[in-house]
Amino acid sequence: METIFQDSKGFVWFGTRDGLNRYDGFQIVVFRYNAKDLNSISDNYIKFIYEDKVKIIWVATINGLNEFNRGKNNFIRYKHNPADEKSLSNNFVTSINEDVQQNLWVSTFGGLNLLQRKNKTFTHLTILLRKAVYIMTHEDVMITDVMYSVGIQTQSYFTKAFKKEFGKTPSQFLQELKK
């Protein structure tokens, strides 16, 4: 057993190394990867299960992110494509979370990804941080305004990620710009 989750409808989901199981109180339905079915889950090794604020179930596997389609009882797969910079940064998905603005953040072995819900593409954290640098160099704004404009809600996280990427905090970066 890798993960257990109870959704808003009362179903209990069990993520295992051999598929995803949904228990309704009476029976278990098992979802497994099927190479011949593009709407099956992307892998049997389940790492994390999450339900967002609009009641969509998201499933992280070692081979992609999956959006559960309740109406059809199947999945939409999101996977890394080296030829597409707007695809997931890596197929090994470790965690999923949503911020107060209903942005879906997906953690992978390749870094943090922000799902653009309208067009179902991803922006990688590195790109968001570069956008923050652009804003700081072209506009006179507060660091918190920059942080919110790129979709990051926590200043400590923004500072830590910025420092990891650029070797200095956002404040240090701005101070150097003013010299």
pLDDT at 84: 94
Q: Which residues form the domain of 140?
A: 126-178
pLDDT digits (tens, 9 = 90+) for 157-166: 889 888 888 8
109 and 147 both lie in a single domain: no
Q: How far apart are CA 44 and CA 63, in angstroms?
A: 9
pLDDT digits (tens, 9 = 90+) for 41-78: 999 999 999 999 999 999 999 999 999 999 999 999 99
114 and 140 both lie in a single domain: no
Handedness of CA 78, 69, 52, 35 (dihedral sign): negative
24 and 106 both lie in a single domain: yes
| Domain final residue, candidates 86, 101, 119 | 119
* CATH value at residue 28: 2.130.10.10
Listed in sequence order, the residues at least 6 apart from 4 whose beta carbon sits closer than 8 Å to its beta carbon are: 12, 13, 14, 15, 49
Q: How many domains does the chain have?
A: 2
Q: Provide the β-strand partners of residue 71.
A: none
Residue 32 has pLDDT above 80, yes or no: yes
66 and 96 both lie in a single domain: yes
pLDDT at 154: 83
